[in-house]
Amino acid sequence: MRVKITVTLLAACALAGCGTAEPSPSAKPRALTVADVSAPDPGGEVGSASSEFASAADLTVWSRLSDTQGDHKRLAKIDVNATAKGALYLEPTTSTWFDGFRGPFVYQELAGDIVLHTRVKVEGRKNGSPRRKFSLGGAMLRVPQSNDKPNWVSVTTGTGDNAGRVELKATLNGSSKPKEVPVESGWMELILARTGTVVTALYKEEAGAWKVGQRWLRPDLPKVLEWGVTGYTDWDSFGALKKDAAKANAAKTIKGVPDLRMTVDYVRFLRPATPEGDLMTVPDAVLVKLLTPAGA
C-alpha cells in the first residue's frame, strides 16, 4: 500500500511540476543567436574616456609606457591635431611587440568588460605601405606592470611578413602567437574587446564589412587592463637582439631604418552587454552585433 501511495504522489508531482527537476545530462544550453544580443553602449564612464583627437589637450588623458613604467621612449614623434588634422599621429623608432619584446604604447587604464573601437591608417614614412617587415599599428590591451611576465593582446595593420596585413596576436606569459590575414591597405577600423573571459578582435576595411579576426579564451586577465594604441617597425634591424628580449628592451635606441607613420582618427570606448553563453563558439554574426557600434 505504501508503495502504491508513493507512486501515485510521484505521478501527481510530475504532472504539477513540483520539486526540483535535474536537467538531462545530454541537455545543452540554447546557443546564442543574433536576436539575443545588442550593440555596445557608447555612453557612461567608459564612454567619457574616448578621444576624437580634436585638440592637443586630448593627449593629456593618455599615459605612455615610457613614462609610467620606466621604459625607454620608442616614439620619434607623437602629437594631436598637428601633423594630422583632428587625429593622433605616431612615428615609432625601431621597435616591436613580440614575446618579451616591448614597443611603444599609449593607453588608459579601464576596468571590466570593454570594447575599444579605433580607426587607423598605417603608412611608410615616405609613402605607401611600410617597407620594413613587421611594421604594424593598431589597438592593444595589456596587463598592468607586466614587463617581467608579458601578457597582452593586439590587433594591428600594416606590413607583417608582407604588406597589406592585419595581424592578430595574443601573448601569454611572454609567448606570442600571431596570425596574419591579407587586407587592402588604407584606413582600417579595428575593434578589440573583452567580454567576460573572452577577448575578440574584429577589423573592417574602408567601405567593407566587419569581420571577426580572432577570439581568445583569457580567464587570466585581471579586471583592470591598459587599453590603447601602439605602433612599431623594422624587426629586421634587431639583428642579434632577436634572440635576447631583455637586452633589446634595455637598449635606449636600436639603430635601424624605421618605416611607419600611423594616423589615429579616434579611439572610442564602449561597454558591451555581455550575455550569458559561450562566446567562443557563437557564429561570427553574433559577435559582430555584440561588439560593433550600432550603425558602424
pLDDT tens digits, one per residue of 246-283: 999 999 999 999 999 999 999 999 999 999 999 999 99
The confidence score (pLDDT) of residue 44 equals 86
Percent of the chain's residues with pLDDT above 90 = 86
The confidence score (pLDDT) of residue 149 equals 95
pLDDT tens digits, one per residue of 104-153: 999 999 999 999 999 999 999 998 999 999 999 999 999 999 999 999 99
Q: Using the CB atoms, write b or e for 113-151: b if 16+ within 10 Å.
A: bbbbbbbbbbbbbeeebbbbbbbbbbbbbbbeebeeebb
Locus of grid cell 613587421: 134
Return the CATH class of domain 41-291.
Answer: mainly beta
The confidence score (pLDDT) of residue 29 equals 62
pLDDT tens digits, one per residue of 176-215: 999 999 999 999 999 999 999 999 999 999 999 999 999 9
**208 neighbors 188 (Cβ within 8 angstroms):** no
The confidence score (pLDDT) of residue 20 equals 40
Q: Where are the domains of the chain?
A: 41-291
The confidence score (pLDDT) of residue 15 equals 34
